[in-house]
Copies of this chain bind each other. A is one copy, B any other.
Amino acid sequence: MKSSTIYDVAQAAGVATSTVSRAFSNPDRVGAVTREHVLEVARRLGYQPNPHARALVSRRTRTVAMVVSDITNPHFFELIRGAEMRAKASGYTLVLVNAEESPRIELEQINRLTRSVDGFLLAASRQPEEDLLQLAAGHRVVVVNRRVPGLASVVLEHAEGCRQMVAHLASLGHSSVVYLAGPRNSWTAASRWAAIRGAAAELGLHAQRMGPFAPTVASGGAAADAALTTGATAAIAHNDLLAIGVLRRLADRGVQVPADVSVVGFDDIFAADLCTPTLTTLGGAHADVGRAAVEILLNSMEHPRDHAPELVVPSELILRRSTGSARTGGRPDG
C-alpha cells in the first residue's frame, strides 16, 4: 500500500516534480495540455498529496481548531455542526477541542495545536481578555459568543434578546426578576446581566442577580432555591441546562411553573421543547454562528490586513409554557 508521490507522477508523466506540484497547487502556472496530462497520470497512479509535506513548506494546514468550553453542553452541538460543515465545504478539517471549563486546559491545548492548525475558533472562551489578545497576536483567532475589542468575533445577539425577554415578563405582570448567573469568567454571563438589568430599569422592574452557578442541570437545584429566597416571580437562568435543573427542583418543592414562578433560559437546546413545562428561551441559529465563524477565519487567511469583523447573528425569543402571568397561573400569550 505504498502510496505514490509527486516523484512517481513526474516520472510517469515525463515532467519535473515542480510541474506536478504546480498542476495541483497552482494550475494556472502550467500549460493546459501539460496540466491535463499530469492530472490524468496522477489519477491513474492514485496519487494524493501528502498534507504534511505540503504544510511543512507552505505553512498552511487546511485545518482549523474549535475549542469549546464544555463539549458536553448540547448548546454547542449546533455550533459545532455548522462549523464542521462550513469547514468541510472549503476542504478544511475541523479539530475539536474540549476545554473542560478550564482556562488552563484550554491554553494547553491551544499551544499543543499551534503548529498543526491554521487558526482557532474559541467558543465561550474562559480566558481573561488580555490572554486572548496575546493569543491573537500569535495566531489567527475568531472568538465565538464573546466579544473582545480588536478581535474578530461572532456572537448570537443577546442584548436586544434580553430586552425582549424582560419585556415579555413585564407584560405578564412580573415586577421582580432574578438572573441566575453563569460562571464568573463567562463573558455572556456578564453581558446578559448587564442587558437584563438595563431593560429592567427601563421597564420599571426590580432585577437582581444570584450565583454564579455552573451551567449544568445539576446546579439547577441550588439555583432554584436561591431564586425562591429572592421572592422574585420570574427567574432567568443563564442557560437551558440550568433552567431545566431549576424546573426540576421547583417541581420537587411543589412550586408551580408558571403559576407561582416563571422560568426562562438561553440557547433553545433540543431538550427545551421536551421538558415539563416546555421552556421559554432565547434561541437563534447557532449553526449559522459556527458557519460564520469559520468563514471569517478562512477569509482572514486570504486578506490578513482586513479589519477584524464583529458579526452578530440575530436571536429569537421562543415563548413556551414555562412563562405565564405573575402569580395567577395564566398561559403565555404567544
Taking beta carbons and an 8 Å cutoff, which residues of A are in contact with B? 1, 3, 48-53, 55-56, 61, 63, 71-72, 74, 77-78, 80-81, 84-85, 88, 91, 93-98, 109, 111-116, 137-138, 244, 270-271, 274-276
19 A-B pairs (CB sep. < 8 Å): A50-B56, A51-B52, A51-B116, A52-B52, A52-B53, A52-B56, A52-B61, A56-B56, A63-B116, A74-B270, A81-B98, A84-B97, A85-B98, A91-B112, A93-B97, A93-B113, A94-B95, A95-B95, A244-B274
- Please tell me if the beta carbons of B71 and A77 are within 8 angstroms of each other in the complex: yes
Tell whether A52 pairs with B115 under 8 Å between CB atoms, given A71-B84, A84-B71. yes
- Residue in A97, A114, A115, A275 whose Cβ sees the most chain B Cβ within 10 Å: A115
Quote the shortest CB–CB distance from A195 to chain B (angstroms): 28
Complex Cα spacing A96 to B121, Å: 15
- Please tell me if the beta carbons of B109 and A88 are within 8 angstroms of each other in the complex: yes
| 9 further A-B pairs in the complex, CB-CB below 8 A; given A93-B112, A93-B116, A95-B96 | A52-B115, A52-B116, A74-B270, A81-B98, A93-B97, A94-B96, A95-B95, A271-B271, A274-B275
Complex Cα spacing A77 to B271, Å: 14
